[in-house]
Structure 1
Amino acid sequence: MTKQFAVIGMGRFGSSLSAELFKDGAEVLVIDKNEKRIQENSDFSTHAVVADTTDERVIKELGLRNMDVVVVAIGDDIQASILTVMILKELGAKQVIAKAVTNQHAKVLTQVGADRVVLPERETGIRIAKNLLSPNVLDFIELSDEYKIEEIVASSFMIGKSLRELDIRAKYQLSVIAIKSNGKMNISPFPDDTINPGDTLVVLGEKKLLKKFETKTEKALFII
């Protein structure tokens, strides 16, 4: 089922996040009080709405509590950011991720119920979008337009098997260049190295092939 996201606040952070989610096939509702910002982002979203999310009725009418994730990316009005998060959580929103502009703002957002708080200086919208779409992908490095490296959490179908048994290179045309286990990095692992619970695979390959592999590991994650 296609994931549904709402992104509130169409500044630079919210715009890059929503565009990346939309590009990867998610349903994205974008919201901002500024009509010009909504017009600029309407082509990179499923729905675009001019609205004030500090009004509880607006949040109810837009059905935000039914979204898989709501991202509060309001950066120019701290009070509106905090009120929006508070109302969303009071109405039962499943997962609320909020942008903070200062460390103190981050603390308050956590106190009013935000499930995750991000500081844009530390995390880009594109990186967070990637994590939302593929929760098992912890991090990634773009090598070129076609290739990248991803850190992928070991799924249930991998546990207890060796790299030889998984045969990721032959089945998915991807290269496991390292395994993180108990905080230690095993560079250039051997074919007989076994995957343990909690391990992370560092995988190199074409983006389209990594995407297929992500789908496989996500399905396995939900089985655990």
Structure 2
Amino acid sequence: MTGEFAVIGLGRFGGSIVRELSSNGYDVLAIDSDEERVNEFMGLATHAVIADTTDENVLKSLGIRNFEHVIVAIGENIQASILTTLILKELGVQIITVKATNDYHEKVLRRIGADNIVHPERDMGVRIANGLMSQSILDYLELSNEHSIVEIKASDKLSNKSLIDLDLRAKYGVNIVAIRRDDDVLISPQADEMILSEDILIIIGKDTDLDRLERTLRSR
């Protein structure tokens, strides 16, 4: 089963992961302790099982150590989330991604060795807030406490200029890593690439530098 996914917890977050992975052709084992939720994914996931993932023997019986990536999407039961993650780590699962409900939960998950930790509600709130505060920023993805990736629609201040003319790296310390143009995406565009009026610029940098750029684009 190398390369397959297992998703533990089939609430809104875990369920959406199962649906997306399955729709893209991946084999997914969906696990939850709630029979009703498991039944909902019977025809969607490759396998859907009712199981208590805080029991090491249960996880062993499911062959969980054979899955390359396990997503722990358990909701409000922080104890179950932590214990499940700890068992997965001890069983040698290669990649463990866990949903955290608060900062304390995240701190514990980091200490026991979770590979990736996500805050879906917080992160979505930040993305929505950034969209509300700025007409320039179309989307926002936090990479760390200090760095992010943003999508910015080319304004009059950016369009009809080449990347070397804009020189955003020197002026703001940010980098344009890609340009979305109609249905195409230009990865690592060349310095002489001209920005067109409908382009979407994908920019990476420190949050403070991205804020400075956004304020400049907002000003008249």
Q: TM-score range by the shorter chain?
A: 0.5 to 0.7
Question: What secondary structure does 1:108 align onto?
Answer: helix
Give the structure with higher Rg (CA): 2
Q: Shift of the alpha carbon at 1:67?
A: 1.1
Return the alpha-carbon distance in structure 2 between the equivalents of residues 2 and 87 of structure 1.
19
Tell me the alpha carbon deviations over residues 176-220 of structure 1, each in whole angstroms, 9 at most, x when there is no partner.
Answer: xx999795234xxxxxxxxxxxxx3233454xx77xx9xxxxxxx
Question: What secondary structure does 2:16 align onto?
Answer: helix
Matched, 1:203 2:180: yes
8 Å CA contact retained: 2:99, 2:119 = yes
Aligned counterpart, 2:174: 184
TM-score (normalised: structure 1): 0.58
Return the alpha-carbon distance in structure 2 between the equivalents of residues 179 and 54 of structure 1.
53
Query: Which amino acid letter does the alignment assign opposite residue 120 of structure 1?
Result: P
Q: Shift of the alpha carbon at 1:120?
A: 1.4
Q: Shift of the alpha carbon at 1:139?
A: 7.1
Question: What secondary structure does 1:96 align onto?
Answer: strand
Question: What secondary structure does 1:49 align onto?
Answer: strand
Aligned ranges 1:137-152 → 2 under 5 Å: none
Report the RMSD for the aligned CA atoms in angstroms.
3.2
Question: What secondary structure does 1:42 align onto?
Answer: coil
Structure 2: give runs of 5+ residues left out of the alignment: 125-147, 152-165, 188-220
Aligned ranges 1:116-127 → 2 under 5 Å: 116-123=116-123
Aligned ranges 1:31-46 → 2 under 5 Å: 31-46=31-46
Return the alpha-carbon distance in structure 2 between the equivalents of residues 42 and 65 of structure 1.
22
Change (3 A) 1:35 1:63: same
Q: Shift of the alpha carbon at 1:42?
A: 1.9
8 Å CA contact retained: 2:2, 2:68 = no
Query: Which amino acid letter does the alignment assign opposite residue 28 of structure 1?
Result: V
Return the alpha-carbon distance in structure 1 between the equivalents of residues 180 and 169 of structure 2.
14
Return the alpha-carbon distance in structure 1 between the equivalents of residues 16 and 100 of structure 2.
16
Structure having greater relative contact order (Cα 8 Å, sep ≥ 6): 1
Question: What secondary structure does 1:29 align onto?
Answer: strand
Q: Shift of the alpha carbon at 1:81?
A: 0.4
Q: Shift of the alpha carbon at 1:61?
A: 1.3
Aligned counterpart, 2:136: none
Question: What secondary structure does 1:54 align onto?
Answer: coil
Change (3 A) 1:185 1:44: same
Change (3 A) 1:10 1:140: farther
Aligned ranges 1:1-224 → 2 under 5 Å: 3-123=3-123, 184-186=174-176, 200-206=177-183
Change (3 A) 1:179 1:119: farther
8 Å CA contact retained: 1:180, 1:201 = no
Return the alpha-carbon distance in structure 2 between the equivalents of residues 140 and 49 of structure 1.
38
8 Å CA contact retained: 2:10, 2:31 = yes
Return the alpha-carbon distance in structure 1 between the equivalents of residues 81 and 6 of structure 2.
14
Residue-pair matches, total: 149
Tell me the alpha carbon deviations over residues 119-160 of structure 1, each in whole angstroms, 9 at most, x when there is no partner.
Answer: 111446xxxxxxxxxxxxx9797xxxxxxxxxxxxxxxxxxx
Change (3 A) 1:202 1:61: farther
TM-score (normalised: structure 2): 0.59
8 Å CA contact retained: 2:2, 2:66 = no
Structure 1: give runs of 5+ residues left out of the alignment: 125-137, 142-177, 187-199, 214-224
Change (3 A) 1:6 1:201: same
